[in-house]
Amino acid sequence: MAKLIYVTNVSLDGYIEDARGDFDWTEPDEEVFAFITDLIRSVGTFLYGRRLYENMAVWETDRSLAAQSEPMADFAEAWQAADKVVYSTTLRTVSTARSRVERRFDPDSVRDMKRSATGDLTVGGASLAAHAFKGGLVDECHLFVHPVLVGGGKPALPRDTRAELELMDERRFTNGIVYLRYRPLGQ
- From residue 186, give the alpha-carbon distance in Å to each of 63, 70, 95, 111, 164: 43, 40, 39, 17, 9
End-to-end CA separation in angstroms for the chain: 12
pLDDT in tens, 124-148: 999 999 999 999 999 999 999 999 9
For residues 40 and 79, the answer to whether their CB atoms sit within 8 Å is: yes
What is the rounded average pLDDT of the residues 6-25?
97
- Is pLDDT at 187 greater than 90 in this prediction? no
The number of domains in the chain is 1
pLDDT score at 90: 96
User: Whole-angstrom Cα distance, residue 85 to residue 69?
Assistant: 27
pTM of the model: 0.95
How far apart, in whole angstroms, are the C-alpha atoms of residue 122 and residue 187? 17
- Other beta carbons less than 10 A from residue 90's beta carbon: 7
User: Nearest 5°: CA angle at 55, between 6 and 90?
Assistant: 90
Mean pLDDT of the chain: 96
Where helices occur in the chain by DSSP H, the ranges are 30-40, 50-56, 58-61, 63-67, 70-81, 107-116, 126-134
Q: With left for phi above 0 and alpha for psi between -120 and 50, is residue 109 left, alpha or beta?
A: alpha
User: Has residue 20 got a pLDDT over 80?
Assistant: yes
CATH number, domain containing residue 156: 3.40.430.10
Average pLDDT of the segment spanning 28-57: 96
Q: What is the pLDDT of residues 57-101, one digit of tens each?
A: 999 999 999 999 999 999 999 999 999 999 999 999 999 999 999
The proportion of the chain whose per-residue pLDDT surpasses 70, expressed as a percent, equals 99
SS3 content of the chain, % helix, strand, coil (to 5): 35, 30, 35
Indicate the pLDDT class of residue 186, thresholds 50, 70 and 90: confident
CA distance 59 to 16: 20
Domain that holds residue 72: 4-184
Q: What is the mean pLDDT of residues 139-162?
A: 96
The whole-angstrom separation of Cα 187 and Cα 185 is: 6
Q: What percent of the chain is modeled with pLDDT above 90?
A: 97
Round to whole Å and give the CA distance between 133 and 161.
7
